[in-house]
């Protein structure tokens, strides 16, 4: 039997990615990274800022997300997110720009702890990115 | 009877109007294609979101402590209506249809002695509603400046609604918009978003055995505000496609009518020109005869 399942990433404007032959997807779930293989139990979870890695037999794609919801059911994985970037489209300038905006937001007074945690997380992920 | 000069002027003025309506039709047709594409692309997101929420709410066991956004405040006293219209006119019955639909709803609510609050999105809706419901309108929002419909605008509206809900300013919230069916048909829609009303009955009881991370209610309370923004975004997309479609067919009609008018006026012009010539000829001939 094949070890493949399908994944769909949608953002509000359009269907961002649709693949039927992925073997593994690693998502930055709210309580830690989570790898999803075929026949995973049905699950609904949140994303925190991080990298989604989509593996298929021939290639490996990486995407940066800021937030989102994941649903896995009957070997189809749906990821709903309002902000996603393809890693190959991101260059240092763009990353710096996002980091700067996030830091500005994090310094504002009127946000709660959970939000600050998420923003800090985002900055950290992005900073690690720009190193390598 | 109008003089020849007057007729000539009218013909040229109708012709230039026709040129304008024709140009507007072309622009609307080009925009329509894009808006329609966007609306279709946006559908999967809101559908998926709805599905997940339905699955979640089916699985929730503790109905008492469920988030208020899902089950409501338990009262139905104050209704908030979000009326979504366009910012520009000249689009046929597009705005009027939404307003008509929402006015029906308003009257029903007022008859039941409930409190009505209105938020208008888009300036045309405000213009049409301010005469009758001025004191009910609590906020007017317009996105005249943003060129494309984007999620951030929808999110803004969503946040306003949720803020007001948290301040307990209303119990029930409904949005009004036009659903795009095809170029000539747009259906005005009324959709209740707070408390969430599922269109389908529970038929998916068997697959509600999800694993949740974190807890169900935490997911729900995070998801519901997002869903409101998503529903509003969907409404905005549908609305923009409907607006362009409606404008296109309205302008197509206008162009055709102008064409008919030009034909009619031209015939009239030719006839009166002929009559004037005949009259002059008769005068000359009878003048010559009398000599």
Contact assignment for A80 to B52 by CB distance below 8 Å: yes
Which pLDDT score is estimated for B65?
66
Burial code of A63-78, b = ≥16 C-beta within 10 A, e = fewer? bbbbbbbbbbbeeebb
Same domain, A68 and A94: no
Same domain, A17 and A80: yes
Same domain, A55 and A116: no
pTM of the predicted structure, to 2 decimals: 0.83
Neighboring chain B residues of A30 at a CB cutoff of 8 Å? 213-214
Domains identified in chain A, total number: 2
Task: Please choose, from the candidates B118, B120, B155, the residue with its C-alpha nearest in 3D space to the C-alpha of residue B140.
Answer: B120
pLDDT over threshold 70, residue A131? no
Distance, in Å, from the CA atom of A67 to the CA atom of A90, rounded to the nearest integer, reads: 17
Neighboring chain A residues of B150 at a CB cutoff of 8 Å? 13
Contact A17, A80 (CB under 8 A): no
B91 is catalytic: yes
Collapsing DSSP to helix, strand or coil, B150 comes out as coil
pLDDT in tens, A83-119: 888 877 777 777 778 888 877 777 776 677 777 777 7
Weakly modelled stretches of chain B, pLDDT under 70: 1, 59-65, 197-209
Domains of chain B: 41-249 (3.40.1380.10)
Contact assignment for B41 to A44 by CB distance below 8 Å: no
Same domain, A78 and A14: yes
Contact A48, A67 (CB under 8 A): yes
Contact assignment for B42 to A42 by CB distance below 8 Å: no
- Structural domain for A121, as ranges: 90-131
Same domain, A55 and A18: yes
Which pLDDT score is estimated for B278?
96
How close, in Å, is residue B243 to chain A by CA atoms? 18
Element (DSSP H or E) covering residue B189: strand B186-194
Question: What does the DSSP assignment read for B106-129?
Answer: HHHHHHTT-EEEEEEESHHHHHHH
Which pLDDT score is estimated for B206?
47
CB proximity list for B56: less than 8 A, separation 6 or greater: A44, B210, B216, B219, B220, B223
B233 to chain A, any CB pair closer than 8 A? The answer is yes
Neighboring chain A residues of B154 at a CB cutoff of 8 Å? 12
Task: Please choose, from the candidates B33, B96, B85, B87, the residue with its C-alpha nearest in 3D space to the C-alpha of residue B245.
Answer: B33
Same domain, A51 and A20: yes
pLDDT in tens, B30-47: 999 988 888 888 888 888
How close, in Å, is residue A1 to chain B by CA atoms? 24
Same domain, A64 and A47: yes
Collapsing DSSP to helix, strand or coil, B46 comes out as helix
Q: What interhelical angle do B216-289 and B94-111 show, nearest 10?
A: 130
Same domain, A78 and A17: yes
CATH value at residue A80: 2.60.15.10
Reported ipTM: the value is 0.74
């Amino acid at each position: 039997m094949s070890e493949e399942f399908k994944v769909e990433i949608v953002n509000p404007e359009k269907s961002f990615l649709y693949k039927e032959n992925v073997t593994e997807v690693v998502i930055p779930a709210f309580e830690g990274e989570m790898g999803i293989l075929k026949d995973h139990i049905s699950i609904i979870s949140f994303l925190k800022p991080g990298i989604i890695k989509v593996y298929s037999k021939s290639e490996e794609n990486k995407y940066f997300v800021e937030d989102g919801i994941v649903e896995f059911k009957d070997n189809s994985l749906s990821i709903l997110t309002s902000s996603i970037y393809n890693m190959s489209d991101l260059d240092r300038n763009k990353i710096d720009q996002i980091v700067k905006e996030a830091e500005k937001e994090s310094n504002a007074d009127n946000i709660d702890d959970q939000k600050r945690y998420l923003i800090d997380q985002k900055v950290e992920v992005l900073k690690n990115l720009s190193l390598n | 009877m109008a003089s020849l000069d007057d007729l000539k002027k009218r013909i040229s003025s109708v012709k230039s109007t026709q040129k304008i309506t024709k140009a507007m039709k072309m622009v609307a047709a080009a925009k329509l294609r894009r808006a329609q594409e966007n609306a279709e692309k946006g559908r999967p997101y809101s559908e998926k979101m709805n599905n997940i929420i339905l699955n979640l709410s089916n699985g929730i066991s503790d109905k008492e402590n469920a988030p208020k956004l899902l089950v409501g405040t338990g009262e139905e006293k104050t209704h908030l209506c979000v009326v979504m219209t366009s910012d520009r006119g000249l689009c046929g019955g597009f705005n009027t249809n939404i307003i008509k639909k929402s006015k029906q709803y308003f009257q029903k609510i007022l008859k039941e002695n409930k409190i009505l609050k209105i938020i208008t999105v888009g300036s045309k809706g405000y213009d049409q509603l301010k005469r009758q419901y001025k004191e009910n309108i609590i906020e007017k929002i317009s996105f005249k400046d943003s060129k494309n419909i984007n999620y951030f605008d929808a999110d803004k509206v969503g946040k306003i609604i949720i803020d007001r809900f948290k301040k307990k300013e209303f119990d029930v919230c409904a949005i009004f918009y036009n659903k795009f069916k095809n170029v000539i048909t747009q259906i005005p829609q009324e959709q209740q978003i707070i408390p969430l009303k599922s269109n389908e009955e529970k038929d998916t009881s068997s697959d509600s055995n999800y694993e949740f991370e974190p807890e169900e209610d935490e997911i729900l309370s995070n998801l519901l505000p997002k869903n409101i923004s998503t529903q509003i975004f969907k409404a905005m997309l549908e609305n923009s496609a409907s607006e362009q479609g409606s404008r296109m067919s309205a302008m197509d009609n206008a162009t055709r009518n102008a064409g008919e008018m030009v034909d009619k006026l031209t015939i009239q012009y030719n006839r009166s020109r002929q009559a004037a010539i005949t009259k002059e000829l008769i005068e000359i001939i009878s003048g010559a005869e009398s000599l």
